Structure 1
């Protein structure tokens, strides 16, 4: 039985060696020239000014979390769409309940004012 796992062990070892080599090679072969100009952060071809630590409004995080939530929920509808003809009325009722739950959660978020930016 242990001989059956030999290919998996070899593949794991090769992956670890490749990861270590790809991380170590730039440090061993790359130039070691450090100066102030190369250490500056540049965004879109312009030098940064001021402090980079600014507060991000909570609304950005809320919208991002809601996007992930609704995106994953819509992803659950994909199997239904693939098996639409095989599921008949039972699948239609289940998908309808699921979509109603999606709409209910969207209305709840809207009523709570999460989407208001004022």
Structure 2
């Protein structure tokens, strides 16, 4: 029984070091900024910078559908790159079947891109 618990010791040490380092990377800069005087919040520093306008309604209000559409299109084209990279690296090893499958995939992706373009999903009004 002791040998089984001893097998988990490296994992526990790894997790301990990971928690310690991640905590240090989070809290040490905050502590250092307090001691050096660089922690001086002012209204411009605390203003909204992600959405571009101040929050004036409930946070549960609905967003424009274009935000979601842009996010979905980003995910689709990001996944294309994620699928394309391993295929391109191993192209000479996998053969013609893989090449044909990737061309079908890219063809479907181009058709989806053309459809989104024609529907005006890529235009921000």
Please report the TM-score for the alignment, with normalisation by the length of structure 2. Answer: 0.62
Are the equivalent residues in 2 in contact too, given 1:59–1:115 (CA < 8 A)? no
Q: Which runs of 5+ in 1 are unaligned?
A: none
* Aligned twin of 1:107: 114
Structure 1: distance between partners of 2:16 and 2:89: 39
Q: How does 1:1-118 map to 2 (within 5 A)?
A: 1-20=4-23, 23=26, 26-27=30-31, 30-31=34-35, 38-42=40-44, 52-53=54-55, 58-118=65-125
Q: Relative contact order: is structure 1 or structure 2 higher (C-alpha 8 Å, sep ≥ 6)?
A: 1
Q: CA RMSD in A?
A: 3.3
Q: Which runs of 5+ in 2 are unaligned?
A: 57-62
Structure 1: distance between partners of 2:33 and 2:84: 50
- Structure 1 residue 23, shift from structure 2 partner: 4.9
Structure 1: distance between partners of 2:33 and 2:78: 43
